[in-house]
Chain A
């Protein structure tokens, strides 16, 4: 039984009438990369902020890194690396000055060596004297990652760390995350990207403040019990229109030259597409993708839950 890094229950946060996070339970084991998914405004950032003491929870209990998540946020802060959604280091300081500041804040031992090692590890050495404000998105993200890891945290909370970063930089970033996780670091990563979600050990999907599903990628897909058909042929847009209004069809989404048609009642779906299974259309049943599942989950939410 691996050590549990995050073990919280009933976490709730209200802003006025809006319940941003509603009774969320989450367990993440040490060394695990947990993908945190959900549409915009679903409460991902709020939940992460509650974990690291940036927001006070209205309800909930549990432990994070062995400390009480409500009362001992000061101790939790010392061992957490938090990367904000928006770049939040000092743009008028250079890379090395930013790292040095953070290292001092966490009272890192052998500070100079730690800063130098951090620069080296993330390939920032040559740019050390460049002002953070002049860096491109990818380099800013590297700096932010270096900075939030300089005190060797045991838990990384990353809030959409790769937004606006090119594919190569994203791949490098994930490479690093996996290396760190292998060394025992726990990561909770909020993301919108499905390819990134698939790189996580485990997923937690929240919508409008509620935890909708969690598990491995395969478990999440299986749990949704979704059937998907792929169809190719001419004038797919018109076909999609017709399909969407048919009973049993919950999604009809264009992917390039194909259309994915999904529903959670396999029989009803089969009946719905039956009249359209004629030439020139070519149909074949396929695996549901993570994206199909997520959109399916979103659509199932009651309308009044949407803001």
Chain B
């Protein structure tokens, strides 16, 4: 009762008027309140697919007979496999998988048709990039079914006997890189990308805005400094912090979660350098655009969401619609995830890594150029 009597409607109205006025002034926050739900709706509604289809597949077709082609069209018709590449050699298949260009390689050996008609039960070899068990699971399940049924139309009449008990064809699946389908093998290297993205963007995002908010920017600008000196000075300390994070994740991943490190660790550290700098540069760019620390944080949040959802960290990259994949390709984390997983799980070397390293470097460079251009040397 006492509480109610002290409650003043007039004062509540005063608070409301003030809050609404402030909300109207802070357009970015208001935009975020509309933008974030829209972004989440689009990402979760259209992009996220727990049953990824149309996965990039390469074909190694050595067989000349009609049954080999029948098999391939059956595989394509399942909807899980998109044939994006025709390969000639086993070497090429190896490379395409290592680079992550394709999720699967379907290998139909020479004399497949002949052996089939002879009743020799020929084998189809499917190599799968199983680093992300979620990406391949359903596709491989569908494959097992369709291989048994695909040739039913062809194997009629006198050939019916070939169908046999086990089916006319043997399906050999090689789940590469993570044969036991251990989720951690995929998640832990991925976390390295996510953690670096979040912390690095945030820390430099606040760097310039903090100076501006605390009033120290005026002083800094009155000194004879060059933009690059200030920006580099704000970036370099956090490269060290980034490396500490990389170290912690590697050690914990290896000893705590048993994630293998099959590739070259120095190469990983080199790639991490480029990635860390690119993220720091992105953060500092936000910092030069945002008017205060809150705005910088909001901008950073706008990058976190796609970084987690579109990069292939949480959901299979190849399972997303093509336009979403293009968006994902812009983000440094998408490329870094391929690099880390490639080095740790696939044992990738310099030749594979460089394909994903230059987009990160380019991104960082563009961000840095924008930051230097945007960095105001006066208070205008």
Contacts and interface: CB of A to CB of B under 8 A. Distances in A.
Interface stretch (B104-112, B123-131, B221-229): B221-229
Contacts, number: 45
Given A49-B379, A53-B378, A55-B380, A90 B221 contact: no
A223 interface: no
Contacts of A84: 215, 218-219, 222
Given A78-B224, A80-B222, A102-B223, A88 B216 contact: yes
B224 to A, nearest CB: 5
A84 B217 CA distance: 11
Most buried by A among B215, B216, B217, B223: B223
Interface in A21-61: 49, 52-56
B214 interface: yes
B230 to A, nearest CB: 10
Nearest to A50: B378
A78 B222 CA distance: 9
Contact of B378 (A56, A86, A102): A56
A56 B379 CA distance: 8
Contact of A54 (B216, B222, B224, B225): B222
Contacts of B379: 49, 54-55
Nearest to A79: B224
A270 interface: no
Interface in A59-118: 74, 77-78, 80, 82, 84, 86-91, 102, 105-106
A77 B224 contact: yes
Contact of B216 (A74, A78, A89, A106): A89
Nearest to A81: B222
B225 A105 contact: yes
Contacts of A74: 224
B224 A82 contact: no
B216 A52 contact: no
Interface in A222-237: none
Contact of B214 (A56, A77, A80, A91): A91
Nearest to A104: B223
Nearest to A76: B224
Most buried by B among A53, A54, A77, A102: A54
A210 to B, nearest CB: 21
Contacts of A90: 216
Interface in B196-224: 214-219, 221-224
Contact of B380 (A56, A78, A87): A56
Contacts of A88: 214-219
Contacts of B217: 88
Contacts of A86: 215, 218
B155 to A, nearest CB: 79
A261 B218 CA distance: 43
A89 B225 CA distance: 16
Interface in B220-278: 221-225
A89 B215 CA distance: 8
A89 B223 CA distance: 12
B371 to A, nearest CB: 20
Contacts of B214: 88, 91
Given A77-B222, A86-B218, 4 more contacts: A56-B378, A74-B224, A78-B224, A90-B216
Closest CB pairs A-B (n = 3): A88-B219, A82-B222, A77-B224
Interface of A: 49, 52-56, 74, 77-78, 80, 82, 84, 86-91, 102, 105-106
Interface of B: 214-219, 221-225, 378-380
12 contacts: A52-B222, A53-B378, A55-B379, A74-B224, A77-B222, A77-B223, A78-B224, A84-B222, A88-B215, A91-B214, A102-B223, A105-B223
